[in-house]
Structure formats: structure tokens, C-alpha cells
Amino acid sequence: MELEKIISISGKPGLFKLVSQLKNGFIIEDVTTKKKVSIGNSSQVSLLDNIAMFTFDKEVPLFEVFENIAKTNDYKETISHKSSETELREFMETALPDYDRDRVYLSDIKKLAQWYNILQAAGYITPESFIKPEAEETETPAEPAEKKTATKKTDQKPAKPAAPKVKESTHAAKSAPKSTHRKQG
């Protein structure tokens, strides 16, 4: 999913895509203009993937809220972030009906609408943007089972501690007292 590398930079308008990492910063690309620039490590960067909106009982990832907005608007642009407070609150009610009105400020709602419209205009908001690959979901539950099986096998084999003895024998060649001690035990 291309949305995972989208960032917001404090003090810079718009959204950016992480292109690559440098020794002392990052190369970023403006999602709208496609212009690439570098930023230093001192820049305050927020990955949109790490941002969530408060509801009364949990935090909902920003991309789930974007998906709700996209489905409601048929993947088209939504209201302007410059709309009235009443319109913005109605928009938020549709995007995330159980949002926490005390912890989600008007400025947050404006930013949500603005970011959604930026991503939509840049071509990031499509039905395919929100599809989670099924192959990963099927593999994920299988992996822990395999690891558990492997763990059980190693726990059942008492021969496993032989590996440290091999390491000791390589050290034993360097120091005679250890090899003498091993021959007795």
C-alpha cells in the first residue's frame, strides 16, 4: 500500500512521500507536485500510518478514517478544510460517527479533510489503496504455528545444549585447564 510512506512535516504545508534515507536526513517527494527535496534529521516528521483518531473506546488508525471518507464520497474529493465549523463537524460525524468530541479538535478535523483531499488529488485515494493483501493475512497465522512447532522440537531435544559444548571445545583448545576439566566431566 503506497499510503504507508506518506508523511507530514511540521512547518511545511502539504504531504510528502518518503523516497529514501540519507546519512543525515531523508529524500522526500511532494505528493502533489512530485518535486523531490532533502530534509535533515532535525525535521519533525509524522508518518500518517502512525496517526489515529480518538473514539470513545479506542483509537482508529487514520487510514481507516480515510477509507470511511472515501467510501462515503465514492473516492472523490470531500469538503474543504476551510468549511464552516458546523459543516466540518457533520463531515467528521459521517467519517467517524463515534469520535470523541472532547479530544478531536476542530483543527484535527480540518487537517483530516485537507490531507484526504491532497491524497485524493494526488491519486492515492482509490479502492485499491485500502485493500489489504489476503496472502499476508493467511501467512501471518500460519507463521506462529510453525514457530511454536519449531520451539517445541528444540525444547524436546536434550541434544540442543551440545551446541555450547562445541563452542567450549574451541575455547578449550586455547586454554588447557578447560579441556582437562571437560575430560573429567
What are the pLDDT digits (tens) for 29-54? 999 999 999 999 888 999 999 999 99
Tell me the backbone φ, ψ of residue 99, rounded to 5 degrees. Answer: -65, 150
pLDDT exceeds 70 at position 164? no
If we measure between CA atoms, which residue out of 76, 108, 132 comes closest to residue 99? 108
Amino acid 31: pLDDT: 95
Q: At CB < 8 A and 24+ separation, what contacts does 71-80 make?
A: 75/120, 75/125, 75/126, 75/127, 76/120, 77/117, 77/120, 77/121, 78/113, 78/116, 78/117, 78/120, 79/113, 80/113, 80/117
- Read off the C-alpha cell for 144: 506462529
- Band of the pLDDT at 17, cuts 50, 70, 90? very high
pLDDT exceeds 50 at position 156? no
Residue whose grid cell is 487514520: 62
Amino acid 135: pLDDT: 47
Amino acid 180: pLDDT: 46
Q: At CB < 8 A and 24+ separation, what contacts does 83-91 make?
A: 83/113, 88/113
Amino acid 2: pLDDT: 66
Amino acid 30: pLDDT: 95
pLDDT, greater one: 168 or 26: 26
Lowest mean per-residue pLDDT among 38-42, 98-102, 139-143: 139-143
Query: What single DSSP character describes residue 56?
Result: S
Give the chain's mean pLDDT: 78
Q: Say how far apart CA 88 and CA 92 lie, in whole Å.
A: 6
- Band of the pLDDT at 133, cuts 50, 70, 90? low
Q: To the nearest 10°, the Cα dihedral for 93, 100, 58, 88?
A: 40
